Amino acid sequence: MQAILALEDGRIFRGEGYGAKGECYGEVVFNTSLTGYQEIFTDPSYAGQIVVLTNPQIGNYGTNAADNEANKPYIEGLVTREFSPISSNWRSQQVADEYLERFNVPVISEIDTRALVRHLRNNGVMRGVISSIETDPEILVQKARSIRKMDGTDLASVVTTTTRYEWEPEPDPLESEENATPLPRPDLHVVAYDYGIKRNILRMLSREGCRVTVVPAQTSAEDVLAMNPDGVFLSNGPGDPEPLGYAQETIRQLAGKKPIFGICLGHQLIGLALGGKTYKLKFGHHGGNHPVQQTETGKVEITSQNHNYAVDAATLNQDEVAITHINLNDQTVQGLRHKSLPLFSVQYHPEASPGPHDSHYLFRDFRKMMVEFKK
């Protein structure tokens, strides 16, 4: 079937439609990862966004339940150069076309994704529509312009769990049952705020000997302290961090009372809670090869990233907060640490699913912080 991608500035791309027949709407962003498309599909941080994948061949190794980062895809739509209608991999359980159709995600393929990405890089992310039912591009451009902007929108409340639950540890999806690494017996308790949390984050916490209780985004500090955890984790998530005033206030109430570790949206919320400000990047950071430097050691990590907002370094109180990591591509803030309280955060994804494993040490650092705080 034929499909059209229309951007709010009037740019039109025509291609072949896959996945679900119909229309989808969202902010159009691009991701440069070479593998891990299913993990990208199911990352709740992509809620409200149409994702362009720069790797030209997508879908060729299919999909399987073990690679899901959430129970369903959260991308609004998908844009690719080539979309494979078949899969060839021993782990594949369903072809990507059927998988996305099952969850009502439209796909447009056979377009010049290089031209599209260059357009987004030059002009910034913008609203767009994918349609396989409307043939008039002018109508679709008007629809794109009518989409609510992500700025000022609280999407964490949309994707968060509705009830508290205990995470059941599970094996690494890439390890066989015979060769699976035994998980340590949990001796620490972490309460994890779900602003759009990914499963591999929960796996990483389990591998550090943590029993994890996942709570909804608007859970009060009082309720968390009543559980007497050894630490609090603030997860990744979609959208603008500024509207989440409830989360910022909760962080201020928890700071100093329990060790806190934040990732991505959790990092931005920490920045806001400590008096800083955030701003929107031109086209964001989405991919698995972003170089980040530790400011204290000079060591460089290759990181996985997925965010459109960043903490403004100039607005932070340098007497209280240390900048621990910077992005070598654009010098944006990538890590924070409070100088007197047990609290730190990073903008990137140390669980890296998909992506490199350079930053796994941060989960060990969190465990060390919790152990020392208990003494």
For 47, residues 6+ apart whose C-beta sits below 8 A from its C-beta are 74, 76, 155, 158, 159, 196, 238, 239
Its pTM stands at: 0.96
Phi, psi of 324 (to 5 degrees): -100, -25
Residue 224's alpha-carbon distances to 43, 168, 195, 219, in angstroms, are 25, 19, 15, 7
Domain 156-374 in the same topology as domain 2-146: no
Inter-residue contact 158 to 213 (CB < 8 Å): no
Task: Classify 178 as helix, strand or coil.
Answer: coil
pLDDT tens-place values along the chain, 375 residues long: 999 999 999 999 999 999 999 999 999 999 999 999 999 999 999 999 999 999 999 999 999 999 999 999 999 999 999 999 999 999 999 999 999 999 999 999 999 999 999 999 999 999 999 999 999 999 999 999 999 999 999 999 999 999 999 999 876 666 666 666 788 899 999 999 999 999 999 999 999 999 999 999 999 999 999 999 999 999 999 999 999 999 999 999 999 999 999 999 999 999 999 999 999 999 999 999 999 999 999 999 999 999 999 999 999 999 999 999 999 999 999 999 999 999 999 999 999 999 999 999 999 999 999 999 987
> How confident is the model at residue 183, as a pLDDT?
83
> How confident is the model at residue 172, as a pLDDT?
65
The domain defined by 156-374 folds into Rossmann fold (3.40.50)
Torsion of CA 286, 52, 25, 214, to 10 degrees: -40
What is the domain partition of the chain in residue ranges?
2-146, 156-374
Q: CATH assignment of 2-146, given 3.90.550.10, 3.50.30.20, 3.90.1580.10, 3.80.10.10?
A: 3.50.30.20
Task: Classify 250 as helix, strand or coil.
Answer: helix
Q: Give the whole-angstrom CA distance, residue 192 versus residue 214.
A: 5
Inter-residue contact 260 to 342 (CB < 8 Å): yes
> How confident is the model at residue 182, as a pLDDT?
81
Active site residues: 264, 349, 351
> How confident is the model at residue 181, as a pLDDT?
75
Q: Give the whole-angstrom CA distance, residue 232 versus residue 213.
A: 10
